[in-house]
Amino acid sequence: MSAIESVLHERRVFPPSDKASANAAISGMDAYKALTAEAESDYEGFWARIARETLSWHKPFTKVLDESNAPFYKWFEDGELNASYNCIDRHVEAGHGGKNAIIFEADDGAVTNVTYQDLLQRVSRLANALKKQGVKKGDRVVIYLPMSVEGVVAMQACARIGATHSVVFGGFSSKSLNERLVDVGAVALITADEQMRGGKALPLKSIADEAIAAGGCDAVKSVIVYRRTGGKVAWNEGRDLWLHELVENESDQCEPEWVSAEHPLFILYTSGSTGKPKGVQHSTGGILLWAAQTMKWTFDMKPDDVFWCTADIGWITGHSYITYGPTAIGATQVMFEGVPTYPHAGRFWEMIGRHKVTIFYTAPTAIRSLIKVSEADAKVHPKSFDLSTLRILGTVGEPINPEAWMWYYENVGGAKCPIVDTWWQTETGGHMITPLPGATPLVPGSCTLPLPGIMAAIVDETGQDVPNGQGGILVVKRPWPSMLRNVWGDPDRYKSSYFPEELGGKLYLAGDGAVRDKDTGYFTIMGRIDDVLNVSGHRLGTMEIESALVSNPLVAEAAVVGRPDETTGEAVVAFVVLKQARPEGDAGTKIANELRAWVAKEIGPIAKPKDIRFGENLPKTRSGKIMRRLLRSLAKGEEITQDVSTLENPAILDQLGEAR
Ligand code: WT7
């Protein structure tokens, strides 16, 4: 049975405990239904109410939703606010300056506590320094940093002066970084000398240097470098600046720049079905509102909770649930520099005990990989650690199979912590479909029901609703505040990718397939319906990997598909035709390894194909179209049962079916 089939057959139900419901923000299904009904009866009134209650506005908004230029929606547009003020100053002003904002644990275990007062000073200093470097409201700043307090400070400092940040994950290659610097038109880059992961120092500054040298980055006037390891770096006098020197003499007072709620807070690149990543543009008011509100609803955060989201700030999860969400509500959070398996595979559980974490949010891939090691070694099993402080668990980024869900529930949560399986995307800005810990009866593997105000639905290819029990295309029927506003510099792509005419031009197309349960109406996500893969919760476009492969001088043609993988959810499988004869044996292994390294250099190590198969050709129809469905079957090692009579070259299937 596939993972999805097993979810569809899942009949176990875990109702919320009385304890979980007692003081919950949404304390039961009645409370949930009341909020849903409020949103349905007065959509704008509902959003206006929570926007007023949740955020501090410098200038209150008078308009809620502007649909006059749909699908380019605007929310709270004449309202003014500042994200950094909302995330920091207002808590200090309320007397909570001494509260820990971030408990940072380094790769080597060193712990640093950063209070809201500290954060205010550090953000203000860097904000002043950025201004001195000529960075102005509306300018774009690229951030290429490891998991660090400096990363959060850099993002918040941009927000403070109205600059739009674009964070690039530290695992991306110089080429990927270059493309983003160019596309976004960055005026400054904030990076580090090196990053520490699993006891090893990995370069950042040298990759950043390469990225800038690759051209098109003339607008980048300053490169600000955080000294993390003290490793040796090349220095470009006049362009490169040490972060610590830059902020040393800056004032720790910086008046926030008040911006319209629609002012772009950040641009974050993500993969789509074409080769070029999309710059997903988010607004200040919308994303901040939803990041804060979902901290309260989905995670039921209370003032004494200690929250830990294990995502990297280079992804949307790190934006919404590290940099902005927890701080917007004045919470204490743990932030971790390293990897879950160093110095041992019990690191997560050890840290939960050390920092008395109450709410823990991670990816199914991490859980699946830790199941394997801890079932083999009792010393790193969660049961060997003190996890008694935990009260809520969460997952994000990919479907969780019921087996992994049950293991997480029993071994990490001690069968007493609800698991919130949060479905959302870079484009949605925050949670969309998720259980509520004090209200929703849980079904392993199902993300259950949409949050109040989120009009999620399942439709067919023409945009018509399908009945429960029947699979279809996941859409959102009404705009919501934290939705993306545009694809940076490419409004046509925004329209065609997310509001396609085939569906009538009004429905937001998520790109996932889904089905609702006949009885409960619960949603189960069935995976992407476009050419996007999800490997360990990382989103990769098959076309991006194909372009990387064909840019190698040895490669004539390449096709990339996904294959289900026990640990990483999906794995990348590449079918490659070389310009030279089809290699066999060791020669094939050698070239496959070369191509893997090539993809790592072109995109980043996360995009490396797990399996590369060489053929003299690819399976094509007589009109020359690659038959991807066949490739997917071959990748899985399935017997080919499809009709192959339209195939130009059926003999090729045997060659490509041979697992390497
Ligand atoms: C894609 C979005 C969500 C932030 C991190 C990833 C898949 C995400 C779930 C879930 C099943 C999920 C979808 C979605 N996905 N969460 N709980 N259950 N699938 O953001 O990189 O934009 O990827 O991740 O396929 O479309 P992203």
Residue 333 near residue 352, CB atoms below 8 Å: no
For the chain, the C-alpha Rg in angstroms (whole number) is 24
Question: 421: Cβ below 6 Å to ligand 1?
Answer: yes
Give the integer Cα–Cα distance in Å for 225 and 137. Answer: 22
Question: 534: Cβ below 6 Å to ligand 1?
Answer: yes
- pLDDT at position 644, please? 82
Give the integer Cα–Cα distance in Å for 310 and 440. Answer: 24
Structural domains in the chain plus CATH codes: 536-657 (3.30.300.30)
- Closest-CA residue, ligand 1 atom 17, reads 423
Within 10 A of 27 (CB to CB), how many other CB atoms are there? 17
Residue 475 near residue 457, CB atoms below 8 Å: yes
Q: What percent of the chain has pLDDT over 90?
A: 92
Residue type, 421: D
Ligand-binding site membership of 421 (annotated): yes
* Per-position b or e across 614-645, b if 16+ CB within 10 A of its CB: bbebbbbeeeeebbbebbebbbeeeeeeeeee
Residue 399 near residue 422, CB atoms below 8 Å: no
Strand partners, 164: 140
Residue 560 near residue 549, CB atoms below 8 Å: yes
- Closest-CA residue, ligand 1 atom 24, reads 397
Question: 320: Cβ below 6 Å to ligand 1?
Answer: no
Question: 528: Cβ below 6 Å to ligand 1?
Answer: yes
Please state the three-class secondary structure of 228-286 as a single string: CCCCCCCCCCCCEEEHHHHHHCCCCCCCCCCEECCCEEEEEEECCCCCCCEEEEEEHHH
Residues of the chain with pLDDT under 50: 660
Gap from CA of 325 to ligand 1 centroid (Å): 18
CA angle, corner 415, sides to 34 and 29, nearest 5? Answer: 10
Nearest to 220 by CA among 265, 184, 170: 184
- pLDDT at position 275, please? 77
Q: What are phi and psi of 312, to 5 degrees?
A: -95, 145
- pLDDT at position 2, please? 64
pTM value?
Answer: 0.96
- pLDDT at position 11, please? 83
Gap from CA of 396 to ligand 1 centroid (Å): 7
Gap from CA of 499 to ligand 1 centroid (Å): 19
- pLDDT at position 451, please? 98
- State the average pLDDT for the chain: 96
- Closest-CA residue, ligand 1 atom 1, reads 425
Residue 451 near residue 428, CB atoms below 8 Å: no
- pLDDT at position 660, please? 42
- Closest-CA residue, ligand 1 atom 21, reads 539
Q: What confidence tens digit (pLDDT) does each residue in 408-439 have?
A: 999 999 999 999 999 999 999 999 999 999 99
- pLDDT at position 321, please? 98
Give the integer Cα–Cα distance in Å for 124 and 120. Answer: 6
Length reported for the chain: 660
| Closest ligand 1 atom number to CA of residue 511 | 26
User: Is residue 327 classed as helix, strand or coil in its secondary structure?
Assistant: helix
Residue of 539, 570, 606 best suited for mutating to test ligand 1, as the one with most atoms within 8 Å of CB: 539
Write out the H or E segment, with its range, that includes residue 131. Answer: helix 116-132
Residue of 534, 538, 570 best suited for mutating to test ligand 1, as the one with most atoms within 8 Å of CB: 534
User: Is residue 41 classed as helix, strand or coil in its secondary structure?
Assistant: helix
Ligand-binding site membership of 550 (annotated): yes
- pLDDT at position 114, please? 98
- Closest-CA residue, ligand 1 atom 23, reads 425
H helix runs in 390-469, sequence order = 402-407
Ligand-binding site membership of 528 (annotated): yes
